Structure 1
């Protein structure tokens, strides 16, 4: 496939495929929108109904068919089939209806999509690298079909959202993320490659299932697992020296380890750690615009003190330091709570990244109950925080008692239950509003319907990483960054902050409408690219060159005219 410019100035694409081969190529298929001339050139007469339609008509028809589906999962399955049939139509449908489509192609519906991945898998998409194929990684990735890849999202399926180990079904996450790289970030689908590292699963239900499509083996762990991941990374570096590699939904300890190990070896980031941190930080600043209490004055309780919780905490602490607070003082504003309660110097299995936020035993000794632990409710009573953030994956952990206790001491409590899917959310927005008499400022990690307060409905901001990672990826690709720096992540958050509705209206939603996400991604991409230039990581010559790359990397889902390659056989497959 190659591009040329016709006599009329329109860009056309030269195609070698004909007949069934062309129609069965998701990236090239136009369905009924193939013109009469194209049907002549590519031997399509008889394979298509006679009507010659338009992309607009197809979008309307597919939207109507989608709305006939009765459940979110069947709609998810419908859209996956469409993506595997006609990518241009799929993305046109997404881009034009992003508010309707986002909850269907990603959270919360993608969770069920991963759980039921084996029953809806039909056509190849992305790459499955299974442990038994360790020696074939170079061969698999070396196929010419992957020559144009610029960005990869990889998962091993062990910690899918709040659902745990989904094995090979975890591929639904890289596929969903890559779809948003294109729909929101504008990156051409040919540049995006979802990858699943199949190292087995410890989910017995999957291992017993007769339809499970993954490697039927308990998870490989320890050095053998690390060696497999390293073999993957080294082959990626060799195959694509300048590719962007995003880690997604690895178990918390592995997520942090791999980011630390590889962040200075290739251009890489972890969206669960860094993307979540960026959007949570921007959303908290939006809430602060409403409350008027400065960031450095906040007392923040973080429930779920693994890689995601630490990532949010670190970025917020950095923003505090940017406002003149010392590192030590900034760290004192945070109270981490994990499965053993408040994180203290005596917490079991305390990790180095947690230790810097651990409370001194002398400070909290009197807080302990007879069990020896300090519960979330104990922390709320003692600390009287202004902000409560949850990334625990534990549905309902923000109980009525906890929330009402917090509301006693804060006029406008800021509460972000960020875990997803819906049943793993720490609380529902409606309950939070009921328990705080409508005073809470709420951001959620998954989509919820509007809440009812005093006879009116109020939209709840979805603190969704999709505000950040598509633009972050666009900026990295456009700047041809060698590495992803912490300041590039911060630049993404700062750009989102500049466009918060609460900058102008305290009654507005905490975040812009998700329908603005595509235009926001371009702005974030430019900000990230400029930061990459400042950090000495970019491989473009200045901001003018960066702008050309940004524009050149934004693909619009429209049908280009096709021309037949002269050397192509006229014999249809």
Structure 2
């Protein structure tokens, strides 16, 4: 019994015992059940359902892996085939099905193949979450592009037709006044992570309305796989405030409200009510805003970031990954990361992602130079920002306040031969930048003319970042970049591209600047630190950690981002950096039994181990039934 108690957490054991009238000494646990507990690496879990109810619950279902003792105590005997299989055997069978699919559709269109894979994975997700995440973690490099970018964009476009069963929660404009009670409809007493979207700007695909829920589901799959967030404690959310997509409004199968989007104070009041409701029920939850249109992304971030544990991945996550890439590009030139403050950067795109990157890069430059006000002011002169109307200067009418700090002064432009509205090719030709950074969501924006202009760069190893998603919105392909500019460049993109064969045994490396390098670690580090907010310093620490992850030899070979196959190791280190920064800024309040003082006493190695110890691992836990 002492051994059994060591396996079961005190809270769960106490909860279980309270439901029984017998004393501890009179509890009769058969020997087989004890052996089962002792052989498992995970602690038993108390469940309040049995029979077919447990089989139909993806949180607890094990399918053919239920042991015979579990089948007896959960009333499952006879409801499953008699052969008890291991998790590995189940996965082997699943992968065989996936191989048959690949063989069947290998000659079909890429989109059809990707959607077919998504459907099979989604069905597994619906019936057995433990097995689903084990498959995803073990095959992350292959399946991350299926559960997230770029396939998730295709899923969102077709979500009304693909919908089979609900996942997550839906709050809408018609729920105003009811959200505080609605949050208690969610069955989990504890939620650690919420990803929320209003569907107004899904990737580079525009307004997809309620169908954007797919983006929140995909992000949280990566939180579980990469950061080890407990899947029973994550919640995807759609806030449906209507859509301005006329095609969806006319579609009789559309699942969202058939109304035009709310705007102004009416829209804000819905988001306010949602935030108050979720933080009332779950005070320690972290909310990640995802794919809100640019006009609201910054406003909502500024409205909530100093009051709630929240961040916007499009603004801050994209910025962090881009900054890590910029730092990596400096390293690839054989220079220290502090030389980022000397880089000339032309930025194409001034939406929420573009402005987010500009602000983050500027702060990083200032941080490298001592974090003074003068360093922050001087950093603005390293950027030339081009939007749909051309180069942004102080002469721009109705200048966006968020872009104003990066508008070039007119007197600076004369010697360069530039003016308000100069096109991208002109700007690249005159500035001769070290970095060409695309965050425009305009496919093929980096035309042959633009890339030819970059050949005049004074940098020994210019960098091209075509960061827009999905693939069709990338500013250029890796092949186009290497073919036009030369084999000496550093190339990165938001969506995956294959490496380029340059001939003579040389390979042009295509780095994917994927947000999944950072947002899982930002969320996990914040969660474990118990930080009251997510500060700029915590975000910068995450970016710098990622930039320093690669070995010097790899960076000099043009590899500035690590392999996705290492994502759990990357995430653990990023989370440790975020946690450490939260402690240094006196923001950490601790998590569970680890208070702020304990976090302060941890060495760098102990902090990393603490993070790894708190990452969920997909193993089957023995289930114990307790009637509520």
Which of 528, 542, 550 is equivalent to 1:492? 542
Matched, 1:34 2:66: yes
Partner of 2:491: 442
Which of 522, 527, 533 is equivalent to 1:472? 522
Question: Structure 1 residues 3, 512: CA separation in 2 closer, same or farther (over 3 Å shift)?
Answer: farther
Matched, 1:23 2:65: no
Corresponding residue SS for 1:416: strand
Partner of 2:363: 318
Question: Structure 1 residues 333, 505: CA separation in 2 closer, same or farther (over 3 Å shift)?
Answer: closer
TM-fit CA distance, 1:363: 2.7
Contact residue 289 and residue 503 of structure 1 kept, 8 A: no
Partner of 2:266: 224
* Gap regions ≥5 residues in structure 2: 1-7, 14-32, 106-112, 591-595
CA deviations on 1:245-286 (whole Å, 9 max, x unpaired) are 111100112000000011111111111111111111111211
Distance 1:403 1:222 in 2: 41
TM-fit CA distance, 1:233: 1.3
Matched, 1:554 2:586: no
TM-fit CA distance, 1:458: 4.2
Question: Structure 1 residues 462, 548: CA separation in 2 closer, same or farther (over 3 Å shift)?
Answer: closer
Matched, 1:408 2:408: no
Partner of 1:135: 177
Q: CA RMSD in A?
A: 2.2
* Gap regions ≥5 residues in structure 1: 569-573
* Structure number, greater radius of gyration: 2
Which of 410, 431, 437 is equivalent to 1:361? 410
Where do residues 292-311 of structure 1 align in structure 2 (5 Å cutoff)?
A: 292=334, 294-311=339-356
Distance 1:458 1:102 in 2: 23
Which of 235, 257, 263 is equivalent to 1:215? 257
TM-fit CA distance, 1:48: 2.0
Corresponding residue SS for 1:214: coil
CA deviations on 1:160-205 (whole Å, 9 max, x unpaired) are 0000001011001111111111100001011111111001111111
Partner of 2:444: 396
Corresponding residue SS for 2:330: helix
TM-fit CA distance, 1:504: 6.0
Q: Indicate the larger mover: 194-203 or 135-144.
A: 135-144
Corresponding residue SS for 1:202: coil
Contact residue 386 and residue 413 of structure 1 kept, 8 A: yes
Distance 2:38 2:543 in 1: 43
Question: Structure 1 residues 160, 502: CA separation in 2 closer, same or farther (over 3 Å shift)?
Answer: farther
Matched, 1:344 2:393: yes
Distance 2:398 2:12 in 1: 57
TM-fit CA distance, 1:368: 7.8
Partner of 1:382: 430
TM-fit CA distance, 1:392: 0.6
Partner of 1:170: 212
Which of 186, 192, 195 is equivalent to 2:228? 186
Matched, 1:250 2:292: yes
TM-fit CA distance, 1:455: 5.6
Corresponding residue SS for 1:350: coil
Distance 2:85 2:208 in 1: 40
Contact residue 532 and residue 538 of structure 1 kept, 8 A: yes
CA deviations on 1:421-441 (whole Å, 9 max, x unpaired) are 000001111111111122221
TM-fit CA distance, 1:100: 0.5
Distance 1:290 1:297 in 2: 15
Contact residue 304 and residue 337 of structure 1 kept, 8 A: yes
Distance 1:255 1:249 in 2: 8
TM-score by length of 1: 0.94
Contact residue 501 and residue 508 of structure 1 kept, 8 A: no
Corresponding residue SS for 2:160: helix
Corresponding residue SS for 1:321: helix
TM-fit CA distance, 1:526: 1.3
Distance 1:564 1:322 in 2: 54
Contact residue 474 and residue 553 of structure 1 kept, 8 A: no
Contact residue 150 and residue 244 of structure 1 kept, 8 A: yes
TM-fit CA distance, 1:336: 0.8
Distance 2:261 2:554 in 1: 51
TM-fit CA distance, 1:498: 2.4
Distance 2:547 2:416 in 1: 37
Distance 1:503 1:488 in 2: 28
Contact residue 417 and residue 430 of structure 2 kept, 8 A: no
Partner of 1:571: none
